[in-house]
Amino acid sequence: MPADLVLLSARLLDPVDGRPSPHTALAAAGGRITALGDDREIRALAGPGTAVLDLRGAVVTPGLVDGHMHPVAGAERTMGVDLSGCRDLPAVRDALARAARELPPGGWLRGWGLDPNVFGGEAITAAALGPAFQDVPAAVDLFDAHSMLAGPRALELAGIDGPRRFEQGAEIVVDGDGRPTGLLLEDAACALVEDVAPRPTPAEQRERTAAVLRGMAAAGLTGGHVMDGHGLDVLAGLDADGALPLRLRVAPWCQPGGDAGGLARLIAEQGTGGRLWTVAGVKLFMDGTIDNGTAWLERPDCHGESTHAFWPDPDAYTRVIGELHRAGVPTATHAIGDAAVRHVLDSVEKAAGGEGSPVRHRVEHIETVPDDTVRRFAALGVTASMQPTHCCEYTRADHTDNWSRRLGEERASRAFRCRDLWDAGATVVLGSDWPIAPFPPLAVMAGARHRRPGRDLTEPPHGPAQALTPLQALQGCTVNPARAAGEEAVAGRIALGYRADLTVLADDPLSVADTDLAALPVLLTVLDGRITHRDPAL
């Protein structure tokens, strides 16, 4: 059978050891790598319908995978004005005012990516966002997607006029007189506004999601671990039409307060999907975020906050982990604070009977943890899923940022311990958490290496001792996601029989300088042996 794809004159890079391959060409058929050899041998495998590309010395790596993303939910969330580049309140007000002037009659002003550092340590309130935010129904997401600022008209439409109690960790923030400030913390509170705000039509949602996924493929991504079950119908439709450019593993949410039937449905849903996407795992939350004061810390933050778990009864979370573990379902738990991470590890240890877990559980984020917690990951076989660009873009080396100020010097100095977890033997998977941070994987890998903000690489690194080596950063986007997914026999390497999911770069990512890596051109992206992105220069 002739090959579907032949790549010639290539430098093949296997991230297991980082050594250059003796082969210069590969062939793929049926979505798998079927031959490796020199140009003459591999060219002979081409038939009339084979796509043959001369890479002229470009570097081929296994397809890059984002270990934590929200493509469909993020596609909807990012339909508003992008505030992620605003560094102070005047810039935020200007951006909102420009967007407000373009609204149709009755339209909502939406935005996303708002950095709490723009408030300079002052209270985060809707009133601070200027008059444009007061005159129309308005709501913007803070960068962490765990909080929202809603204007007075949006609060009125949502029927929010004071505090409420929620089944999960959530809050309507009020002033000293009990009036809402506009700040809504966590999903249950934010949903009150989302439920009355306009939503995209199914056609708009599909179009926007498809565009986002194409952008991800152009950035070199061939896969992603999706940490929500939002819009599975959108993924199914794109897959059925041959328009899904990433291979996606989806972990739907399990929230506190659910019944036994809901958990049974999550278990039954495992393994369903299509050709390029599948439900594989369950996502849970143990806390919120440090910037919000909704993380779960062993000691309160500087405001006396971050003292409670997202699950009102943490023991109920432990029981759910035990049931999912017995069913063989891998879990991925959002745990940012030290108390949250410790409770997740305790729960996995209890579920596994005190031994290393045969089920590949994960902890997502792990922003600040002490030494004894770091050492437990490897012993329990728990994957550490990290997002280094969160440290790069939203904290500062001098600890003057909101995240660091809330934690205090001791806990801020153990920020995002990627290298310590790696050296302790944990499987460290890298991701973006898009739309929380940009999705280009080379920028994620670069951030893991230099730990500086991408907008200004002259700034000092935050915790340089936690930087990964170039090879480790590449492994964090290739072999380690495959291992976390239990797919190390078919993914994450350039080897015979492995998936033909490939990323082609203009130069060797292991030799390019840390601060130059994010700008390295992606020449070709291949998914399942099919070209999903090709640079015009190739």
Distances (CA, A) of 328 to 3, 281, 321, 346, 448: 37, 9, 10, 18, 32
- 296 within 8 A of 309, measured Cβ to Cβ: yes
E strand residue ranges, 254-307: 277-279, 282-285
Q: Are residues 104 and 246 in the same domain?
A: no
Q: Let me know whether 188 and 209 are in one domain.
A: no
Per the CB < 8 A criterion, the answer to whether 74 and 431 are in contact is: no
Domain that holds residue 444: 65-70+203-492
Any domain includes 498: no
> Are 346 and 463 found together in one domain?
yes
Encoding tokens for residue 179?
Answer: 């009036």
Asked if 156 and 233 sit in the same domain, the reply is: no
310 domain residue, yes or no: yes
Q: End of a domain among 175, 195, 215?
A: 195
Residue 402 lies in a domain: yes
Which tokens go with 397?
Answer: 């080396």
Residue at 340 is within a domain? yes
Kindly state whether residue 522 falls inside one of the protein's structural domains: no
Strand order of the β-sheet with 64-69 is 64-69, 221-226, 247-250, 277-279
pLDDT for 351: 96
- Name the domain boundary from 168, 195, 222: 195
The half-sphere exposure of 497 on its side-chain side, counting CA atoms within 13 A, is 4
The H or E element that residue 111 is part of is strand 109-114
Clarify whether residues 165 and 225 are in a common domain. Answer: no
229 and 114 housed in the same domain: no
Pair 103, 185 in one domain: yes
Distances (CA, A) of 303 to 295, 308, 337: 12, 14, 15
> What count of residues does the chain have?
538
Which DSSP category does 478 fall into?
T
pLDDT in tens, the chain (538 residues): 799 999 999 999 999 999 989 999 999 999 999 999 999 999 999 999 999 999 999 999 999 999 999 999 999 999 899 999 999 999 999 999 999 999 999 899 999 999 999 999 889 999 999 998 988 999 999 988 889 999 999 999 999 999 998 877 789 999 999 999 999 999 899 999 999 999 999 999 999 999 999 999 999 999 999 999 999 999 999 999 999 999 999 999 999 988 889 999 999 999 999 999 999 999 999 999 999 999 999 999 999 999 999 999 999 999 999 999 999 999 999 999 999 999 999 999 999 997 777 899 999 999 999 999 999 999 999 999 999 999 999 999 999 999 999 999 999 999 999 999 999 999 999 999 999 999 999 999 999 999 999 999 999 999 999 999 999 999 999 999 999 999 999 999 999 999 999 999 999 999 999 999 999 999 999 999 999 999 998 9
Percent of all residues in the chain with a pLDDT value above 90, rounded to a whole number: 93
Beta-carbon count within 10 A of 312 CB = 14
Q: Which of 145, 97, 142, 99 is nearest to 124 (CA)?
A: 142
Do the domain assignments include residue 507? no
Which of 150, 168, 195 is the endpoint of a domain? 195
| CB-CB neighbours of 87 under 10 Å | 11
Looking at the structure, tell me whether residues 336 and 476 fall in a common domain: yes
207 and 165 in a single domain? The answer is: no
Which pLDDT does position 33 carry in this prediction?
98
For residue 341, the domain's CATH number is 3.20.20.140
Examine residue 449 and state whether it is found in any structural domain, yes or no: yes
Reference 226, options 60, 535, 439; nearest CA is 439
Show the beta-strand stretches assigned E in 201-297. 221-226, 247-250, 277-279, 282-285
b/e map 183-199, b = 16+ CB within 10 Å:
bbbbbbbbebbbebeee
Q: 375 and 325, same structural domain?
A: yes
CATH number of domain containing 136 = 3.10.310.70
Query: Does residue 499 belong to any structural domain of this protein?
Result: no
Whether residue 224 sits in one domain with residue 84? no
Q: Are residues 178 and 287 in the same domain?
A: no
In the chain, the number of structural domains is 2
Q: Report the pLDDT value the prediction gives residue 145, as an integer from 0 to 100.
A: 87
